[in-house]
Amino acid sequence: MDDARIKQGRDGWNWLWAWANPVKFMEISGWLLPWATGIAVVTLAVGLVWGFFFTPEAARFGSSVKIIYVHVPTAMMAINIWVMMLVASLIWLIRRHHVSALAAKAAALVGVVMTLAALITGAVWGQPMWGTWWAWDPRLTSFLVLFLFYLGYMALWAAIEDPDTAADLTSVLAIVGSVFALLSRYAVNFWNQGLHQGASLSLDAEENVSDVYWQPLVICLVGFVALFVALLLVRTRTEVRKRRLHALQMRERMADA
């Protein structure tokens, strides 16, 4: 009976683990990719155009407030992509599905770009708001740390030749890095409490932003998530194909020898 239940349990998750099979993954992702791309293009176009051109300028902030349509989604994605990489790394370490490791690798570049975009848009916004491009504020500092984590992760991937070793080591790094990223978050909070924390930075969508800005912002958030999914699928598919190409080349070399 137990076996039956285990089997049933496994079948229940089959739709998920089917992604782990590269052939199945290429099939499913090939079907999914145009949809994700379409959703991303449409929602981003609607959200950004609505946000930039059809919302009134804020009384206190002027037109610079509109950068939230890029700043908030990229900041959100910067953190979420790291979480996604952590989950993918755990799946790789526990169940050794290659697609999972490749997806984590593929996500890193998107993540680092999102982090950089959040930092840059934040600086552009911070300049007129606080009169400075950069402040050693807890949020800014922890994003800088996150940026360093992404760089280290990608550098480690690039430095190791054997793909399985690289996947193992970067997975370990992702796990340890997550613990320390959390720790850094609290550390910088503690370190610089109440020195620079500008009120405008706590512009949490639910609390401070009025309805006019809220609706396009949600659309932009959806757009950025879809954009990430699309980019992730493209990059993971590229990684899978690279792996196949490598295997073919190896086989050819073996045949020649």
Binding site for another protein (CB under 8 A): 145, 148-149, 151-152, 155-156, 159-160, 165, 168-169, 172-173, 175-177, 179-181, 183-184, 186-188, 190-191
Smallest separation, CB 159 to another protein (Å): 5
Question: Position 77: which residue type?
Answer: M
Of the pair 183, 248, the CB lying nearest another protein is at 183
Q: Which CB sits closer to another protein, 58 or 87? A: 87
Using an 8 Å Cβ cutoff, are 74 and 225 in contact? Answer: no
Q: Closest approach of Cβ 171 to another protein, in Å? A: 9
* Inter-axis angle of helices 163-191 and 138-159, nearest 10: 170
Per-position b or e across 144-160, b if 16+ CB within 10 A of its CB: bbbbebbeebbebbeee
For 58, the 3-state DSSP assignment is strand
Which residue shows structure tokens 């946000």? 51
DSSP code for 56: P
CA-wise closest residue to 236 among 20, 42, 82: 20
Least separation in angstroms between residue 186's CB and another protein is: 8
3-state DSSP helix/strand/coil % of the chain, to nearest 5: 85, 0, 15
Q: Which is nearer to another protein, 19 or 149 (CB)?
A: 149
**C-beta of 38 vs 152, nearer to another protein:** 152
- CA 19 – CA 81 distance, rounded (Å): 18
- Nearest approach in angstroms of CB 165 to another protein is 6
Return the number of the residue (121 or 142) whose C-beta is nearest another protein. Answer: 142
Please report how close the Cβ of residue 197 comes to another protein at its closest, in angstroms.
16
Q: How far is the CB of 48 from another protein (least distance, A)?
A: 32
Look at residues 51, 36, 46 and name the one whose alpha carbon lies nearest to residue 227: 36
Comparing CB distances to another protein, the nearer of 159 and 248 is: 159
Q: From CA 162, how far away is CA 168, in angstroms rounded?
A: 10
